[in-house]
Amino acid sequence: MEAALFNGDADAVALSRPFIADPKFPRKIAGGATALSRCIQCNLCLFYAPVAPLKCYHGKRMPAAG
């Protein structure tokens, strides 16, 4: 991320979904960790947001209504 910003390859970096998938991700980055977030950008967190708690739903399915 830093290299992309520093080199001018990107103007900004969006991290909303990685923060949802791993709330401790900012601390890991600040601590020098270089591991990638477990977020695969499936967007299920955003799909379920209107009807369920905001969290990572990767690999999970919501129970059928009714």
**pLDDT tens column, 5-37:** 999 999 998 888 888 988 898 898 889 888 888
What is residue 18's predicted lDDT score, i.e. its pLDDT?
Answer: 86
4's CB contacts (< 8 A; 6+ apart) are 10, 13
Question: If pLDDT is split at 50, 70 and 90, which confidence band does 66 have?
Answer: very low
In the chain, where the domains are located:
2-48
Beta strands in the chain (DSSP E): none
What is residue 33's predicted lDDT score, i.e. its pLDDT?
Answer: 87
Q: Does the predicted model carry a pTM greater than 0.85?
A: no
